[in-house]
Structure formats: structure tokens, C-alpha cells
Amino acid sequence: MIPAIALTLLGVSAGLVAWAVRGRSADWLAPSVWRGPRHRKAVALSFDDGPSESTEQILKLLAQYGAKATFFQIGQHVDRLPQVTQRVVGAGCEVGNHSYSHRRFDFTSAAFQLEELQKTQWAIEAACGAKPVWFRAPFGVRWAGLAKAQKACGLNGAMWTVLARDWRLSGTQIERRVLGKVDNGSIICLHDGRGLEVDPDVSATVEALSRILPVLRDRGYEMVTISELLGKSETSKKSP
């Protein structure tokens, strides 16, 4: 039989690995942020899995309430809908890298991760003329090799403070979850797409957002991009 202390050590080791891979505050495998300063009355809205056919609905809501956001886009969707990426930038929002194929990175090679980041950087630059400076891993999963891939592409990792789980909850549940957890410096993770789906149903997200935005405004929050929240440059301009 395996001694109890050995089982305990195995359990601790497994827990540390799990935290390093998916923990929102972990940065062992790649540099990452998960929140902004607590002293500032501001939050960063972010949207994953776009661009989609519904992204413009979200842009209209953001504009209505004077809000900006960071959109972490999948390279395959950018190639499919480059005009939507252009409209995100034209609305004063920020575009981030969310990989090319939206495949989880655990147990993948460093070469695969680099290719996923590079192809998405190229797709976004071709669409809107600027390269992202932020990367959010699909499903929040980081892996060995990601730090080098991020550095090679000029990217820093961004996780979240509040995960809306809007791909599975109703509009009312999303609203309660976000408003119940948000505080100064929060990075809020929502979705304007659903993985690689074409024309996905994001009506629950849109419904929730229409109620979240006025409440955040009335509570006195600035609603900004991740770069604005952290005082960083938003994009790397396309080389002449």
C-alpha cells in the first residue's frame, strides 16, 4: 500500500498543477493578470469567443452606456468576420487574442501554442491594422511553453475576476452573478460567441448586459478596457 504521506504529497502536487493550469491568479506557466487596482472605481468588461454575428448588439449596448470593453477574439472567426473586428476597434474598444482554433492548451506542444497565437495575431492585424497586447487562453487553460509563445508575440495573459458563465446561465442568473461579485478593479468575463459556433445564440448575454450596464453606471463605475484599467498601451500598431 502507498503510505498516507505519499498520497498526501501526490494530492498536494496535483492541486498545485491544477491551480497553475487554471487558477485565475496563477502565473507560473505564463505572465498573467486577473484584476486591476482596488483603489479605482473602475471595471473592465471583456468578451470571449467572437467576433460573431451578435457582437454588434453588444457594441450598441456599450455605446448606449458610455462603456468600453476588451474583446478576446478567435482567429478563425476574425478570418470569417473581419468587418466585425474592424467595428470593435472603430467603437473605441480593444481586441485581444483568444487563440486561432479555441482548442484547450493542456497537453499541447509549445510549437502548437505559438502557432495558435501567431495566426491570431496575424488575422487581427490584417483585419484592423493593429496587433493585440493581451491574450486569454481558451477555457482559461495555460500550459508549459505558453510563456515563450506570449513573449514571442508581445502578449501578456489576462484572466478574470468575475466569470459570468453566460454560456450556460439565463439572463437573470448572469446578472445576479456579475453584480453580486463585482468590485473595484474587477475584470468581468462574458462571451459574444460560443466557441467555434457560427451565428451563436448569445441572447442571454445580451439580455443580462442590458441590465448590468445601467447598474454599474449608477454605482459609479467607469467601464473601461483592460489596458485602460491597468494603464497599459492597448495595441501594437501595424508596421509600415
DSSP 35: B
Residue 48 is a catalytic residue: yes
Which residues lie closer than 8 Å to 148 by C-beta, 6 or more apart? Answer: 110, 114
Report the mean per-residue pLDDT for the chain.
Answer: 91
Q: Which CATH number applies to 4-237?
A: 3.20.20.370
The active-site residue, picked from 77, 98, 102, 191, is 191
CA distances from 172 to 178, 191, 207 (A): 10, 16, 8
pLDDT given at position 22 = 82
For range 203-215, the mean pLDDT: 98
Amino acid at position 138, single letter: P
pLDDT given at position 237 = 42
> pTM of the prediction?
0.91
- Grid coordinates of 50: 467572437
Which residues lie closer than 8 Å to 89 by C-beta, 6 or more apart? Answer: 95, 128, 129, 130
Asked if the model's pLDDT at residue 202 lies above 50, the reply is yes
Asked if the model's pLDDT at residue 240 lies above 60, the reply is no
> Worst-scoring range by mean pLDDT, 6-10, 16-20, 135-139, 159-163?
6-10
Asked if the model's pLDDT at residue 35 lies above 80, the reply is yes
Phi then psi for 236, rounded to 5 degrees?
-100, 115
Q: Please indicate whether residue 218 or residue 17 has the higher confidence score (pLDDT).
A: 218
Asked if the model's pLDDT at residue 6 lies above 90, the reply is no
For range 121-137, the mean pLDDT: 97
- Grid coordinates of 128: 484592423
Distance from first CA to last CA of the chain, Å, rounded?
Answer: 66
pLDDT given at position 233 = 63
Residue 183 is a catalytic residue: no
pLDDT in tens, 147-181: 999 999 999 999 999 999 999 999 999 999 999 99
The active-site residue, picked from 48, 49, 166, 192, is 48
For range 93-110, the mean pLDDT: 97
Could you tell me what percent of the chain has a pLDDT over 70? Answer: 90
